[in-house]
């Protein structure tokens, strides 16, 4: 990683440099919830034309870290804070340019003064790390984020719950993160719930999964095909054959 010596760098923020030059090569498989990076990395679509130009130049730079750094430096005064950097992070991730996205994040957070904006960027990169399967690094960044006084958002919490499914964590940890989500004033969405259902699937927790499914309805969140498929996985993983057929029958009525 090409380091930068920006005077605004937050000294308490842990660098995310990986020992591997290409993080994408270290990730195999897909999200336990069937999510794509685009569906995880939701956020503001506001960005400047300069951000689009920077993206084009970054893609041309490919895996050359020095060229990437030079591009970021050349656009530093043209990019408009977290909206532009958030756009770059999402688009690079959607192009499977994970290593470049992390380098872009490190550059951005080293130059951002406001903690609110740093928090937005940290939430985005936590999602990137979760998609990469970098679970321990993701958790470490989350703890560092809180210690630094940066506030997580719903994207952050959803990524952490999703990581529980990937890492085989017990449901207690996922439930704790979910409770933390509610305690901080965020209303869970469909992604929150089928990330929890994915954890249930890994552990065969059928009754817990059904309680979550019913809670979704209570909150007015309509299940989609991915939610039903994940619920079906839970039933099958626990050898609940009759409930599995019931889920399939209900799926048919929703088409």
Q: What is the pLDDT of residue 45?
A: 58
| Both tokens assigned to 180 | 């933390």
What Cα–Cα distance (Å) separates residue 45 from each residue in 90, 131, 150, 228?
Answer: 10, 20, 22, 29
The domains of the chain are located at 6-152, 173-255
Q: Is 135 in contact with 166 (CB distance < 8 Å)?
A: yes
Q: What is the pLDDT of residue 31?
A: 34
Residues of the chain with pLDDT under 50: 1-44
Cα–Cα distance, 87 to 56 (Å, whole number)? 12
* Crossing angle (nearest 10°) for helices 225-237 and 190-203: 20
| Both tokens assigned to 4 | 């930068």
* Closest C-alpha among 142, 148, 145, 146 to residue 129: 142
CB atoms within 10 A of CB 4: 14
81: left (phi over 0), alpha (psi -120 to 50) or beta: left
Q: What is the pLDDT of residue 255?
A: 62
């Amino acid at each position: 990683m090409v380091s930068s010596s920006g005077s605004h760098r937050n000294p308490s923020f842990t660098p995310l440099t990986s020992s591997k030059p290409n993080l994408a090569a270290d990730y195999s498989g897909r999200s336990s919830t069937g999510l794509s990076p685009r569906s995880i990395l939701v956020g503001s679509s506001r960005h400047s034309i300069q951000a689009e130009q920077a993206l084009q130049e970054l893609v041309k730079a490919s895996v050359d870290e020095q060229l990437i750094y030079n591009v970021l430096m050349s656009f530093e005064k043209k990019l408009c804070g977290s909206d532009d950097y958030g756009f770059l992070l999402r688009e690079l991730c959607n192009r499977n340019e994970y290593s470049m996205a992390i380098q872009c994040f490190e550059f951005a957070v080293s130059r951002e003064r406001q903690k609110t904006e740093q928090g937005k960027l940290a939430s985005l990169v936590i999602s990137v790390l979760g998609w990469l399967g970098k679970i321990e690094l993701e958790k470490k960044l989350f703890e560092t984020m809180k210690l630094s006084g940066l506030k997580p958002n719903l994207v952050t919490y959803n990524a952490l719950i999703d990581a529980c499914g990937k890492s085989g964590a017990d449901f207690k940890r996922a439930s704790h993160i979910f409770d933390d989500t509610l305690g901080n004033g965020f209303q869970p969405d469909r992604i929150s719930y089928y990330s929890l259902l994915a954890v249930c699937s890994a552990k065969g927790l059928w009754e817990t999964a059904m309680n979550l499914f019913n809670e979704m309805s209570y909150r007015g969140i309509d299940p989609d095909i991915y939610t039903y498929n994940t619920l079906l996985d839970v039933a099958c993983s626990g050898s609940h054959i009759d409930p599995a057929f019931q889920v399939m029958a209900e799926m048919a009525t929703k088409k």
